[in-house]
């Protein structure tokens, strides 16, 4: 009888929280670069110019609001679904952000290459016409 009572005392708390074990609560550090884990609201002129910090701060605020919405669900299945949707939304936003950054870098490299061509044009023109300025010994 003692063993049964002890077994019930050990199993009862575990079974009460068993539904929460499946629903892992997402954490902000899983979705942002390490430099922006503890990002604060950008303030002042310098803060307003730091577009990247402002972006990650807004993402963090949206993430925390999403967590609060998920925690309002009383049903564990609904809460788990909400957490999964929040994770999917964050992964999609990361994918979109990375694509945007890559497009900006490609545009910058194309612009840099075209500016290099503009500066190389006089040299290129000179190299193409160098034969005209040399004496033609093979006539």
Q: By C-alpha distance, which of 42, 34, 36, 31 is closest to 96? A: 31
Q: What is the token pair recorded at 112?
A: 């840099």
Mean confidence (pLDDT) of the chain: 78
pLDDT of residue 126: 61
Domain boundaries, the chain: 40-107
pLDDT tens sequence across 12-28: 444 444 444 455 899 99
Confidence of residue 91 (pLDDT cuts 50, 70, 90): very high
Query: How much is the pTM?
Result: 0.62
How confident is the model at residue 113, as a pLDDT?
74
Decide if 32 contacts 55 (C-beta within 8 A): no
Q: Give residue-wise pLDDT tens across range 59-86.
A: 999 999 999 999 999 999 999 999 999 9
């Amino acid at each position: 009888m003692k063993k049964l009572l002890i077994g019930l005392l050990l199993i009862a708390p575990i079974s009460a929280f068993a539904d929460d074990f499946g629903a892992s609560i997402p954490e902000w550090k899983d979705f942002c670069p390490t430099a922006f884990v503890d990002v604060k609201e950008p303030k002042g002129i310098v803060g307003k110019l730091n577009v990247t910090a402002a972006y990650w701060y807004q993402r963090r605020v949206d993430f925390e609001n999403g967590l609060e919405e998920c925690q309002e669900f009383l049903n564990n299945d609904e809460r788990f679904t909400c957490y999964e949707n929040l994770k999917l939304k964050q992964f999609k936003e990361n994918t979109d952000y990375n694509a945007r950054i890559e497009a900006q870098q490609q545009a910058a490299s194309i612009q840099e290459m075209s500016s290099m061509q503009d500066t190389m044009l006089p040299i290129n023109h000179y190299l193409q016409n160098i034969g005209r300025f040399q004496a033609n010994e093979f006539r």
